[in-house]
Amino acid sequence: MLSAGDFRNGVTFEMDGNVYQIIEFQHVKPGKGAAFVRTKIRNVIAGSVIEKTFSPNDKFPTAFVDRKDMEYSYNDGDLYYFMDLESYELVPINKEVLSDSFEFVKENMICKIISYKGNVFGIEPPNFVELIVAKTEPGLKGDTATNVTKPATLETGAQVRIPLFIDEGEKIRVDTRTGEYMERA
C-alpha cells in the first residue's frame, strides 16, 4: 500500500478502479488546519489529467505498469503487429491504442509497449527517429535571413516543418514527442 504522504513524480497507484500516475505533487502544511497533498494525476489508460487533493494518511494499492520493448513489424487494417524480442511472438494491437507520435514509426523500429495486468493501453515510440524526407518544395535562394521553414512529408507519411536547406532524399532526425525537426542525420 502507498500512502499519499509518500507520493513522488512518476509513481502509479490504483484509485476507484482506475490506474493513475502522478505528474506533479506538493505537500502543503498550512498554518491552520491539517496538512494535505495537492497533486496533478493522469489516468494512464484514458489519458485524462485531473487535479486532486489528498490527506497524507490516504492509502492506495500500488499499480505495477509493465513497459516492454517490442519491434514494430507491420500493420493490417486497424491492427498493428509488434514482435516480442524474447519469444518472437507477434502481438496485435488495435489502432485506438496508438498515440499521435506513432506516425513517425516505421517498420522494424523498437517501441515501448505499456500494459497493466496484460491489457495494452499505450505505445511509446523512440524519443528521436531518423527518417528520410520523401517530399518537399525546393527552398528559395536568398531566403535565409531568418529561421524560415517549409512543410515536408517524411517516408512514414508524417508532416513536419524543416529548414529551407533540406532537400528530398535527405535523412533528418525528428523528436517524436514534439514532432519537430532536430537536425540532419
Q: List pLDDT tens digits, range 93-106.
A: 888 888 778 899 99
The residue ranges of every structural domain in the chain are 2-60, 66-124, 128-184
Please give the backbone phi and psi of residue 150, each rounded to the nearest 5 degrees, phi first. Answer: -135, 155
| 3-state SS assignment for residue 96 | helix
Fold entry, domain 2-60: SH3 type barrels. (2.30.30)
Q: What is the CATH number of domain 128-184?
A: 2.40.50.140
Please tell us whether the domain made up of 66-124 is placed in CATH 2.40.50.140.
yes
Q: Which residues contact 101 (CB under 8 A, 6 or more apart)?
A: 125, 176, 177, 179
Q: Which residue carries 503487429 as its cell?
A: 81
Distance, CA of 32 to CA of 19 (rounded, Å): 33
**Whole-model pTM above 0.85?**
no
Query: Comparing 2-60 with 66-124, is the CATH topology the same?
Result: no
Write the pLDDT tens digit of every residue in 118-173. Answer: 888 788 899 999 999 999 988 766 666 667 888 999 999 999 999 888 889 999 99
Distance, CA of 185 to CA of 129 (rounded, Å): 9
Distance, CA of 104 to CA of 96 (rounded, Å): 16
Distance, CA of 98 to CA of 85 (rounded, Å): 19
